[in-house]
Amino acid sequence: MDMTKFLDQFKLMLFVGMFTLIGQLVSSGASPIEALPGMLLIMLIAMAALLLKTLVPLQFPAFAWATLIAFILTIPMMPTSTFLLEQINKVGFLATTTPILAFAGISVGNKIGILKKISWKLVIVSLIVFTSTFFGSALVAQLLLTLQGTI
């Protein structure tokens, strides 16, 4: 693995972690110091996933590695489960979305030429996906709420 790339990824991870903790402070008033261990654990899992992505000769995306690592470490039978969940639960989910969405926007902005080639087809596919997701979610919610007797 290229050490320069790994260090760049680590610096970016620190940047995202810092903005996540600031976002948590602003959005909910939660202490960044209290959430710091959980954020460091999330960053450690993410860095391990990036490392595995480059070392293991499978075409497996880094987010899938991160999901697998986190899943294994938080299985109830694992000795790491209780500690990890306690610490990671102190990091607010909403605080993590702001920097992630910002980087996703930058990533899409860098691919604007490709999006121009796709043109109007992307709009149609997006509308179908959004509409299907909305009605699918509404159908599941209706079914579950009816079965529970809530409505």
For 82, 93, 99, 131, 136, the CA distances from 103, given in Å and listed in that order, are 31, 16, 6, 25, 28
Same domain for 105 and 124? no
Same domain for 84 and 132? no
Instruction: Work out the average pLDDT over 94-114.
Output: 80
Please tell me whether the overall predicted TM-score, pTM, comes out greater than 0.75 for this model. Answer: no
Who contacts 16 (Cβ-Cβ below 8 Å, separation ≥6)? Answer: 43, 99, 100, 103
Tally of domains in the chain:
2
Same domain for 90 and 138? no
% of the chain residues with pLDDT over 70:
99
Asked whether residue 107 carries a pLDDT value surpassing 90, the answer given is no
Collapsed DSSP state (helix, strand, coil) of residue 56: coil
Per residue in 25-68, pLDDT (tens digit) is: 988 888 899 999 999 999 999 999 999 999 998 888 888 999 99
